[in-house]
Structure 1
């Protein structure tokens, strides 16, 4: 029987429960889908005390950090509202430092990066955290190269990720490193994840880059566009869905998103297609269909309009390209 990969998730009071559920759930599914060697997942706290999440749900710890011995495959420190107290707790920080020396790799989710930084594990490394907490992390730890743009960052054997659901993207990347892309994609499908977002995808999408639309109709339509890229998203169809005229819809998008419905749809489709080009082996025609383009040629033109380059170059680039213009090109959408 193959030796299990020991994964220890470190928690504390006022932890974000999703930061624990995303990685542990994905690793559990990987085990059920045949990960060999399998992952052995434990939750650890100082003194093996239950960790009360910020949602009020208490999580029983299976491991007392001070008593953990032997080698670990992955040490993961999660984030949450209690990150300040956790990073200031000398017992927790000392155990994280000690256990990191026993681990093949170390990771953090969201503000768990503050604990890694307090333990000296991010010194002279590039790291990320939730976009709203990066400036404070950089000011507190000037030897850490904080970059809040990507979803997750790998620097050597240390991984840091952005807020909450990016823990899933990070964990899928770890599964792919360990077992290959086929298993990682199978886990993503089981989790009904639209796609495994690459590390260099921006934390903030085009609909979140500005303050959230104050108009509920625009906000609901923005979510509908991102979730239904292959559907009919013409201005007429969107207006009908919202129960307004196309002229009024255009006024609302201009006021709250600074663009037209056609440009917003085309930009969302183009950016989703670019992420699929970089994170999958799907042919361009299949990506075009999935993202709502009529043909591969139409998608190629969208890439040229939006990024100034074609799909082959996007696939070869080390980082995600940046759009030439925020709203993309004004092109009719089917």
Structure 2
């Protein structure tokens, strides 16, 4: 009969561990499902595309992960100098859910990336003392801190670019150089992020406007792998990589590989070798097919010849480089495999009805 109270006694004894488990300890992972915070700092007069472009890349990566049955990786946070609506240079207002005062160290850690946009408002923002102090204080705490376009001026004012390569919008390069203590200005790069270099993987910059999208794609590649970066680029119908001096890769052309299984590897290989010999014999060797067989497969699956397909990829790469206005026509002709500028000019006139120079003037981001 004395054994009856024992279960009650054991039940009471078991309660403290249950209570302890119910209280999240400091080592417990955060309750939200995201693995990495992307904090974009908005300020009055910032350029809308500097903010929405990169953030859409991360949002698309989340969407694609959901479609694959995985949890989203990124938590997107819009922060302002103060919480509330922020009017951008185009007149669009976005809502900053947090102000700098709320973005304390407890909210930022090694799983956070801070992005600072550019725009007309950077002239005032770079002299904002609280913003500069916040950037200096938080940079050592976060995994990454980068700038879009002229946002590089804010990082430079905070002393974070000393000893590092840096770029910005072409019209702000001289202003950035004037701030230099030991900044290595590189106006030909789309961005300076380099996952293989600890310093350039921690603090980095990007060139004008749409280069922030290129930067975001590179960050996705570093976080989630090349396959996801390529999937995001294809979904957004953009180039997955546009680094100066390297061949471009078109999402529109890459999408064709899904419908051409016999040519898939070859079509993925071509954009990275545009400056090389891409004659039928070389393509056939790469595809492990006889030249005549290769020609038949191209005609059947793509309704074109190997030579016309290569010219199409080269032309698309050239239009991308010229639209960025970061290389001369002669350099674009060499990088894209046209050799002489006259060959590039003939290709442009045949396909687009304009010269390379006229195309750059009409459609260049500058």
TM-score range, shorter chain: 0.5 to 0.7
Asked if the contact 2:114–2:146 (Cα under 8 Å) also holds between the matched residues in 1, the reply is: yes
Q: Which has the higher helix share?
A: 2
Query: Is 1:15–2:46 an aligned residue pair?
Result: yes
- Report what 1:110 is aligned to: 149
Note the 1:127-276 alignment, pairs <5 A.
Answer: 127-154=166-193, 155-193=200-238, 195-200=239-244, 276=271
How many residue pairs were aligned?
A: 250
Structure 1 segments unaligned to the other structure (5+ residues): 206-225, 230-272, 304-319
Structure 1 residue ranges, 4+ long, deviating more than 3 angstroms after superposition: 226-229, 282-286, 288-294, 296-300, 320-334
- Report what 1:277 is aligned to: 272
CA distance in 2, matches of 1:91, 1:10: 13
CA distance in 2, matches of 1:48, 1:275: 48
CA distance in 1, matches of 2:186, 2:302: 29
SS in 2 for 1:161: coil
**Distance change >3 Å, CA 298–CA 65, structure 1 → 2:** closer
Q: TM-score, normalised by structure 1?
A: 0.64
**Distance change >3 Å, CA 140–CA 67, structure 1 → 2:** same
Residue 142 of structure 1 deviates from its aligned partner by 3.9
**Distance change >3 Å, CA 140–CA 274, structure 1 → 2:** farther
Residue 276 of structure 1 deviates from its aligned partner by 2.6
Counterpart of 2:138 (choices 99, 122, 125) is 99
Q: CA RMSD in A?
A: 4.0
Asked if the contact 1:152–1:200 (Cα under 8 Å) also holds between the matched residues in 2, the reply is: no
Residue 133 of structure 1 deviates from its aligned partner by 1.0
Counterpart of 1:28 (choices 51, 59, 68) is 59
Q: State which structure, 1 or 2, has the greater radius of gyration over its C-alpha atoms.
A: 2
CA distance in 2, matches of 1:189, 1:57: 27
Please list the CA deviations of residues 196-237 of structure 1 after superposition, one character each: whole Å capped at 9, or x if unmatched: 1233359xx9xxxxxxxxxxxxxxxxxxxx9999xxxxxxxx
**Distance change >3 Å, CA 329–CA 191, structure 1 → 2:** closer
Structure 2 segments unaligned to the other structure (5+ residues): 1-30, 194-199, 254-267, 275-282, 288-293, 315-331, 352-366
Q: TM-score, normalised by structure 2?
A: 0.58
